[in-house]
Amino acid sequence: MDYRIEHDSMGEMKVPADKYWGAQTQRSYQNFRIGTEKMPHEIIMAFAYLKKAAAMANYRLEKLNKEKLDAINAAADEILEGKLDDNFPLVVWQTGSGTQSNMNVNEVIANRGNAIAGKKLLHPNDDVNKSQSSNDTFPTAMHIAAVFEIRQKLIPSIESMIGTLKRLEKENEGIIKSGRTHLQDATPISFSQEISGWRNMLEISLEQINAAIPGISKLALGGTAVGTGLNAPKGFAEEAAKAVSELTGYSFETAANKFHALTSKDELVFMHGALKALAADLMKIANDVRWLASGPRDGLEEIIIPANEPGSSIMPGKVNPTQCESMTMVAVQVIANDTAIAFAASQGNFELNVFMPVLIYNFLQSVRLLSDGMRSFNDNCLSGIKANKEVMKHNLYNSLMLVTALNPYIGYENAAKTAKLAYEESISLRDACVKLGFLTGEQFDEVFHPEEMI
């Protein structure tokens, strides 16, 4: 491999000749050979927007000339276009401030910008990192990436699933089935009512996620090292946030208190709490679906779901609810990520949180898994659900809990005796009620209407 010599404040380093990173990136690459988890691609993209915005703000405040602005923009645009993807090799398990990834981006933009300009024009610290510190850029990149992924991927997945449930709700109006509580028979419910419960779970989750977006739309940029804004010109924070909004098309604003913005990660914890709530609802929905589809002969078999793959390497003809299983595993991972995120956020010592890479790695993984998992579950399972009307009707009229309809006529205790006798002797509720002398057959028929119990 061919190398070139780069230097930083600690001396010279050999860097692969075909890469644009510099000495600080190389030091991190060599010193942190830990795991396979790379800094998320979403963070690198957010940094590209951030560096463009900072350069725009510096230019508007007459701290950076047009030639340097253009070179920074050109290099950052190549990052956003995916042309420089192989120039960001650093792992999550690095400095807790994300300094080395900030410098990775600074060095790549500087070196690529110089190559575009055809001369030594940009310095990674003095120009690309001008008016900034890793301590305010990394939390800013975290927020930009979080807003992007939630708005562009997660919310559309939620809305698509809500749309499917609305369709299923309408298609299944008028179908009455047995309700269940404690995994035991309960009073009747319509299938559309059951579906509406699933739908409203997602609608409420969407409301909670939308309520958390304003918090992660506040940017730390302008706080520099400890929140005081040292070495950033007056107005830089506001101009930079304005520029991020212009570049991304989403509304961002500067954080009012930069001391809070650098050391606290409560906005991301709050948002991930909403993601955890969504995961909990998805776990519930997927479990309901696979219970209702259990069988095909020895389970509930009240719904039929798409058969996507063979379910067994030894049992011919077996088909499993694989999309439900995938969705529930995603939920488990997201709920586990919430613990890591909360613990990382609690470790803000003095003026800086130093658990930011692991926090945002888990956060973005949750958003990615939820977005992809919901889309897969919706397209490959939920959208193809069909009600097994015959089984639903059989289970409904075989349910002992229909006896609840008799409470106003024979009382709770007599109704309980009726259900008990019907169960013990495997007879109908009508026969049991008549046998016990509580009602005549005609009286029973007059008051017993399961379809009216919903």
What are the residue numbers of the active site? 182, 312
CA distance 317 to 350: 61
The residue among 260, 221, 261 whose CA lies nearest residue 242 is 221
Extract the tokens encoding 261: 């913005």
Q: In DSSP terms, which residues pair with 12 in a beta bridge?
A: 7
What residues are paired with 254 via a beta bridge?
Answer: 219
DSSP bridge pairs for 428: none
**Counting every residue, how long is the chain?**
454
Which residues, in sequence order, are bridge partners of residue 434?
none
Specify whether the CB–CB gap between 93 and 357 falls below 8 A: yes
- Cβ neighbors of 144 (< 8 A, separation 6 or more) are 46, 49, 50, 219, 244, 248, 252
- Is residue 100 within 8 A of residue 135, CB to CB? The reply is no
Closest CA to 19 of 29, 31, 34, 9: 29
Query: Is the Cβ–Cβ distance between 251 and 265 less than 8 Å?
Result: no
Q: With the C-alpha atoms ordered 308, 309, 311, 314, is the resulting torsion angle positive or negative?
A: positive
How many Å apart are CA 142 and CA 93, to the nearest integer? 16
Cα–Cα distance measured from residue 66 to residue 72, given in angstroms and rounded to the nearest whole number: 10
The 3-state DSSP class for residue 77 equals helix
Distance between CA 89 and CA 109 in Å, rounded? 15
Which residue carries 């007059």 as its tokens?
446
The enclosing H or E element of 11 equals strand 11-16
